[in-house]
Amino acid sequence: MSNFTDPFDFIQDQKWITLTAIGSVFTFTFINKIKEYILFPTLNYVVPKKAFEKLSIVLEDNEKEDTTLHIGKLIRELILWAFIITFIYFVAKKSKWPILRKGQKLTILQNK
């Protein structure tokens, strides 16, 4: 049973809940809102779903959807993925991420 009645006393006592962890939650929420309200509506305008709904192959005529190959959905997701990966690449290149000090090597790419 916990001896804490105030949640702030609990947070102060527990060392694994830090200001960085709380800030990360708000940052993650902010990034999700950017994706939800700006990025995905823009991508849906550029690459509309209706344009790719026609690209499907029906293997067997029945009421179930499990025998239909939705090739158009796969192509649309591939286009969206390529756009987002290209955007992330240019952001990383412009910001020069990861930041390395002079003479420091990127150890993740080195062979051990």
Per-domain boundaries in the chain:
14-109
CA 22 to chain centre: 19
Write down the mean pLDDT value for the chain: 80
pTM over 0.85: no
Positions of the chain with pLDDT under 70: 1-2, 15-16, 64-65, 97-99, 106-112
Residue whose entry in the numeric block shows the structure tokens 């509309």: 48
Q: Measuring CA to CA, which residue among 80, 93, 89 is closest to residue 44? A: 80
Intra-chain end-to-end CA distance of the chain, in Å: 48
